[in-house]
Chain A
Amino acid sequence: MDIVSASAIEHPPAQEHHHTAPTGFIRKYVFSLDHKVIGKQYLGLGLIAVCTGMVLSWIMRYHLAFPNKPVPLVGLFAPTFAAGGVITPEFYLQLMTMHGTIMVFFVLTTAPFAGFGNFVLPLQVGAEDMAFPRFNMMSFWVTFVAFLVLVTAFFVPDGPPLSGWTAYAPLSAVGKAAGPGQGLGQSLWVVSIGIFCIGQLLGSLNFIATTLDLRVKGMTLARLPQSTWAWFITSIIGLIAFSVLLPACVLLLLDRVAGTSFFIPSGLVVSDALQPHSGGSPLLWQHLFWFFGHPEVYIAIVPGFGIVSTILPAMCRKPHLGPRVLIACELAIAGLSYMVWGHHMFLSGMSPMSATLFSVPTLIITIPAAIITLLWLGTIYGSKLRINTASLFCLGFVSVFVTGGLSGFFLSQPSIDTYLHGTYFVVGHFHFVMGVAAMFGIFAGTYYWFPKMFGRMMSETLGKWHFALTFIGVYATFMPMHWLGLAGNVRRYSSFPSDYMQGSLTLHRFITFSALFLGAAQLIFLFNLLWSRLRGPVAPDNPWEATSLEWSTTSPPPFDNFGGRHPIVRHGPNEYGVSGPRGDYIMQTDPPVVGAEGA
C-alpha cells in the first residue's frame, strides 16, 4: 500500500454495515463468513481428499503390480473387505469408485474453483466479501457434509459402492442384489453427490453475483484479471451442470429407496432374481450424468486456465497475448462443453449419426483449446521468464494439457474410441488432461498465492524439487498407460493373472513404482506447506510485482480486505513490460500514466 496513491483509494459511501470481525474461535475459523477463511477451508478439504484418493490409488496400483501378494496394512485397516490384505475384484472396484469420486468431486472441483476462487476472487474485484456470505459458509459446510457422507460408505457393512464414479444404472439403481457395496454404500454415494450439488450451486450463485455486482469503481469487465474471468465462467458451467446432476441423483435415489423405475428396465434379472421394476431407461442416466460429466472436465480445468494466464504474464514480465481472445475461447469452450456429452457414450449403442453429431463439436472444441495454448506459448516466447516454482508449474500445466489434449483428439473419433474406450488409453488421457493438469494449476496457484494467504513465502528450493520430481512422476505414471491401451489392456480389471494381458505386467509394475514415487514427491510439498506456514520468510505485500488488486493490500489481507477503503481501478491487469512508477509494471490502482494507459 506504500506506493498506492491516495487518489487511488476512497472511503466507502455512507451506508449501513454489518458482518463485524468475529473474535471467537468458532465464528472466526469454523463457521466463518469470511471468504478468505472459507477459501482456506475448501483448500484444506481438498488436501484431505487428495491424500485419501492418492492412498486408494496406491492400493490399487500395488495390487495390479503384484496381484497375488497381500497389500501391506490393508488387511489391518479393512479386514472385512480385504482379509489378510488380499484385494478381491469387488474390493478393487470399490476402491476405484471411491478414488474417482473423491478426486473428481472433492479435489478437482473444490480446490481450483471453490478454494482459490473463494480466497482470491473478491480480492481481485475489490470487494469486501462474497455477495452472500451466509450462502458461502453454507456452501462449504454442505460440501464438507457431502464428503463425510461419502467416506461413511467405508464403514457400513458391505462397504463403498463398486459402480464407478459414473454410477451407471442399472448397476447403481437396483440395490444390494447388484453386489457388495451396492446397498447402503451406493445410497450414501447418491446422497453425498446430491448434497455436493447443492453446495456447488450455492457457490456458483455467489461467484456470479460477486463478479457482476461487487466490482469496485473502475473495475470494468475488460479489466477483470484472467483468473476472475475463469472462475466466473466456471461458475456458469457449474450452475448448469450441477442443476442437472442433482435431479439425476434424486431420480436414482427414488429408484433405490422408493421403488420407482426411472433407470431400471423391464425384465431385469440380477443375481438370479427378477427385479420388481419396469420400463426404466439405463441410457437416461448416462445422458443426464454425462450432460454434467463432460462440463465437469471444464469445471476442473478452466480455473487452471485462469491461474496460468494470471501467473504467466507476471513471471514473463510482458502482457498476456490476446487476453480478450483467451476469454472468448474460454466462453466458447463453456458453450461447446454442453454439446459433446455423447462422446462418452459412443459404445452405448447410439446410432452412427448421433455419434457423428457428438464427434464434430468434440473436434471443434479443440480449436479454442489450441488457441489458448498458442496464446500461452506466444506470451512465453521472447520473454525474460522468471524461473520459480509457480512459473514452472504453469509450464508443466501447458505440457500436460497438450499431452492429454492430443490423446483426446483420437478418442473423439467414434471408430477409434470403439477400440480404445475400455482400455488404459482413456485412463491415461483423462488423468493427464483433467487430473494432472488441474493439479498443476492447483500447485501453481498455491505457490503464487501462499504469500497472500498466510503472509509467508514458500521455500523455492523445495518447490523446485517438488516440481521436478512431480513432472517426472506424472509422465512416468500416466504416459505408459497410453501404450497399455493401444495394446488392448482393458481398464477396471483388478488383475490379469492368466490371460493374454499378462505380458503387460512389467509395464504395470513400472507404473506402480512411478505412482509411489509420484506420491512420495508430494511429501516435499506437504513439508513445504507446513514449514513455510510456520517458518517461511515474511512475505511482502506484492512479492511477484504483480498488477491485480489482491497485491495492493497487505499479506495476509485484513478482515475487510482493504482496510476500510475501496480501491479505484484505473488500469487493466495486463500492464507488464511498461515504464511505471514502481518499475516494469503498473498496478490496477496506480494513477494514470501518460503513454501506458490500461485497458
Chain B
Amino acid sequence: MQKSITPPSATHTGVWVGIAAIIMSFAAYTSAMVVRQGSLPEWHHFRLPPILYWNALVLMASSVTLELARQRIGGPFDRLGRGTTSRPWLSWYRVTIGLSFVFLIGQYLAWQRLASEGLYLATSPSSAFFYVLTALHALHLLGGIGALFYALHVLRADDGPRPVDVLSAVAVYWHFMAVLWLYLLVILALWV
C-alpha cells in the first residue's frame, strides 16, 4: 500500500506559507528595532560597510541567473517533467549557487569590518540589531542554498516530485531572499 507524492500546488502553497512566516518574523524584529531606537536617546548610529551594497547586487544577480536557468529548461522532458543534467541551463544554475556563496562571503567580510571597528554584537543596541538581522537572513539563505542543491538532486532522481515543480518553488523562495535582503538593507541604512 502506497501514498501519492505531494502535488505541485501544495509545494507552492507551502513555500508561500513559509514566506509568510518569515515575513512575520522579520516584521517582529523590525518593530522591536523601531521601538528600541525610538525609546533610546543614546542610540548609536554607525555607517554600514559598503560591501553590503555590492552584496545586494550579487544576490539580485543570482536571482537573474536562476531565472535564466529556468528559461533554458526547455525539455525534452518526459511526462513527469524530467530531463537530463547536460543542458545549457545547468551552467546558469551553477552560477546561481556560486553567487550565493559569494554573497555569504561578502556578509562575513562585512561582519569582519565592523568587528575591526570595535562593533560587536553586544557593543550597542544598533550593532546588536545589525548582527541579528544579517545573521538570520544568512541563515535563511543557507536554507535556500540547501533547496537549490535539493532541486539538483531531484533532477537526477528516478522518482519523486517533478524537477520543474521543485525548481519553480525554489525560485519563489530565492527571489524572496533577494527582496528580503533589499528590505533589510533599507531599514538598516535608515536605523542603525
Contact = CB atoms under 8 A, between A and B. Distances in A.
Interface string A265-282: 000000000000011110
A319 to B, nearest CB: 31
Interface residues of A, number: 52
Contacts of A560: 1-3
Residue of B5, B18, B21 ringed by the most chain A CB atoms within 10 A:
B21
A232 to B, nearest CB: 12
A333 interface: no
Contacts, number: 131
Contact of A559 (B3, B21, B27, B36): B3
A205 B92 CA distance: 31
A204 B17 contact: yes
Interface in B1-24: 1-7, 9-11, 13-14, 17-18, 20-22, 24
Contacts of A516: none
A20 B4 CA distance: 9
A57 B32 CA distance: 35
B28 A281 contact: no
Contacts of A212: 9-10, 13
B29 interface: yes
A259 B122 contact: yes
A376 to B, nearest CB: 31
A210 interface: yes
A17 B128 contact: no
Contacts of B125: 260-262, 279-280
A17 B3 contact: yes
Interface string B174-190: 00000000000000000
Contacts of A21: 1-2
Contacts of A17: 2-5
A357 interface: no
B112 interface: no
A541 interface: no
B3 A260 contact: no
A260 B35 contact: no
A246 interface: yes
B123 to A, nearest CB: 9
B17 A243 contact: no
B35 A281 contact: yes
Interface stretch (A221-229, A250-258, A440-448): A250-258
Interface residues of B, number: 38
Given A247-B25, A279-B36, A258 B122 contact: yes
A281 B4 contact: no
B80 interface: yes
B168 to A, nearest CB: 15
Interface string B36-54: 1001101100000000000
Contacts of B1: 20-21, 558-560, 564
Contacts of B122: 258-261
Chain B contact residues, majority secondary structure: helix
A246 B29 CA distance: 10
A235 to B, nearest CB: 9
A16 B42 CA distance: 61
Given A254-B128, A260-B121, A262-B32, A128 B40 contact: no
Given A18-B160, A258-B121, A262-B128, A243 B5 contact: no
A463 B82 CA distance: 55
Given A19-B3, A259-B122, A559-B3, A209 B160 contact: no
Indicate the member of A250, A260, A288 with the most B CB atoms within 10 Å.
A260
A287 interface: yes
Contacts of B35: 281, 284, 287
B24 A214 contact: no
Interface string A1-37: 0000000000010011111110000000000000000
A137 interface: no
Contacts of B43: 279
B80 to A, nearest CB: 7
B2 A19 contact: yes
A288 B27 CA distance: 11
Interface in A174-213: 201, 204-206, 208-210, 212-213
A286 B35 CA distance: 12
A505 interface: no
A129 interface: yes
A426 interface: no
A490 interface: no
B10 A243 contact: no
Contact of A250 (B3, B36, B121, B132): B132
Contact of B25 (A133, A246, A564): A246
A108 interface: no
A245 to B, nearest CB: 9
Contacts of B27: 244
Nearest to A287: B35
A239 interface: yes
A314 interface: no
Contacts of A165: none
A20 B32 contact: no
A259 B125 CA distance: 11
A135 B17 CA distance: 13
A66 interface: no
Interface string A113-147: 00000000000000011011101000000000000
B3 A240 contact: no
A248 interface: yes
Nearest to A279: B40
Given A214-B10, A260-B122, 16 more contacts: A18-B3, A131-B13, A213-B9, A213-B10, A213-B13, A242-B21, A243-B24, A244-B28, A247-B25, A254-B121, A258-B121, A261-B128, A262-B36, A280-B36, A281-B35, A281-B39
Minimum-distance CB pairs A-B, first 10 = A243-B24, A259-B122, A213-B10, A17-B2, A19-B3, A131-B10, A128-B3, A209-B13, A247-B28, A244-B28
Interface of A: 12, 15-21, 128-129, 131-133, 135, 201, 204-206, 208-210, 212-214, 239-240, 242-244, 246-248, 250-251, 254, 258-262, 278-281, 284, 287-288, 291, 558-560, 564
16 contacts: A16-B5, A16-B159, A17-B5, A18-B3, A128-B3, A131-B13, A135-B14, A205-B18, A214-B7, A243-B22, A243-B28, A248-B28, A251-B32, A254-B121, A261-B122, A284-B32
